Amino acid sequence: MTRPRIVVTGMGGLCCLGKNTDEIWAAMRKGTCGIGPLTIPDKDDLKVSIAGEIAELPGHDLDRRQLATMGRFGLLAVLASGEALRQAGLDAGQMPEMRIGAVIGTGVYGGDAVEQSYRSVFREGKKRTDIFTVPKAMPASPSVQTSMAHGLTGPVFGVTSACSSSNHAIASAVDLLVLGRADAVVAGGSEAPLSYGVLKAWESMRILAKTGCRPFSADREGLVLGDGAGALVLETLEHANARGATILAEIAGSGFSADASDIVSPTLEGPVAAMRDCLENSGLSPEDVDYINAHGTSTQANDKIETEAIRAVFGKHADALSLSSTKSMHAHCLGASGALEAIACINAIRYGIVPPTVNYTESDPDCDLDVTPNEARRRPVSVALSNAFAFGGTNAVIAFKAA
């Protein structure tokens, strides 16, 4: 039996680059860096001073009672999913017979809700926290809030695998469609890590940058965290054609692996295995790939190992690839990064433009691929890979291709 083809019919997103996908893509094309000064409460007690903060949320008409039950990452997921559903032309209220699901990933949890509970008890002297602290903070919150806000009654669940969460969510949505468990699925990720407690914990790891995010540049000094969410609407090609939907791209396949080695230090073998698995699952050869949106976190070890892994998988063709890390612009949004990077991959295919790696100042012999430094580049892109290599060695790679 032939596996059904899975296509993307809608996209939604918001991050420090913009409050919708058009704004995000325009910023990526221009090479705009959305990272700026951190403005959260108690920031003076933090060493980190920069982040990818969302300056303005899009307007919405969400019910006040539901808003009272949402943490920030739940709200971001609802907003991104709403944009994706609108572009796809799907309204669950008008299509009650459709089984529309939601699979949303997150890398951490609702840190803002937990932090507010501590403030209430230890600073404000209250005897109890907000009654909705648990549902606001739980990792499933973005998926269930998306379901409730948009009336999605198909399969709904959350995915958490650190920085690979979005890619695992997208792949899980593909599986639901292939198995016939849903007619359409909203898939992506949401994250809101810019709270005092979460940032303080990341500081302890000594991998946060002080001055900027510079992936693959010899003077890179670490990653920068950001708020964000991204969502794709996925359907089978047959279903999308039957309802006359506009097709943005196709999910060619996916690949996974586990390092099974160290909780924070990446291996070479894990990323190599995930990329090779993705190519095999997609029926692609290395030479078919034009662009890779790299994991590219701007740490010394990660960027070096990712470069080695790409060379191991693609051989001589590695020198013909375009590579970039859009985290240099939208920061590392942890479990949401893969969804934002999916938007970059899909638009690279649609418009024949590779977004740049900005803030690149100095070549590194250990990162000797074409990383599209500082300025976007026009080139035909038929196939793009999105790499996600997370803490704990949970690796997930998605292949997109022109439909």
Domain residue limits at 370: 254-401
- Write down the pLDDT at residue 118: 86
Q: Find residue 6's DSSP bridge partners.
A: 236, 251
Which position among 15, 330, 332, 367 bears the catalytic label? 332
CA 197/CA 201 separation, integer angstroms:
6
CA 8/CA 30 separation, integer angstroms:
25
Give the pLDDT confidence of 321-371 residue by residue, as tens digits: 999 999 999 999 999 999 999 999 999 999 999 999 999 999 999 999 999
114: CATH: 3.40.47.10
Count of the separate structural domains present in the chain? 2
Number of residues that make up the chain: 403
> At which of 242, 264, 296 does a domain end?
242
Q: Residue 222's Cα: distance from chain center in Å? A: 19
User: Is 212 found in the same domain as 346?
Assistant: no
Q: Residue type at 386?
A: S
Residue 2 covered by a domain? no
User: Is 336 found in the same domain as 269?
Assistant: yes
Q: Which residues of the chain have pLDDT under 70?
A: 1
Is 60 a residue of the active site? no
- Write down the pLDDT at residue 1: 65
Query: What single-letter DSSP state applies at residue 372?
Result: -
Q: Residue 66's Cα: distance from chain center in Å? A: 25
Helical ranges in 263-319 per DSSP H: 269-282, 300-314
Query: Do residues 86 and 94 touch, judged by C-beta distance below 8 A?
Result: no
CA 80/CA 232 separation, integer angstroms:
9
- Write down the pLDDT at residue 124: 87
How many of the other CB atoms lie within 10 Å of CB of 28?
27
The position carrying tokens 């809700």 is 113
Which position among 33, 163, 278, 367 bears the catalytic label? 163
Which position among 295, 330, 333, 367 bears the catalytic label? 295
Is 33 a residue of the active site? no
pTM reported for the whole predicted model: 0.97
- Write down the pLDDT at residue 330: 98
User: Is 259 found in the same domain as 228?
Assistant: no
Is 345 a residue of the active site? no
User: Is 341 found in the same domain as 235?
Assistant: no
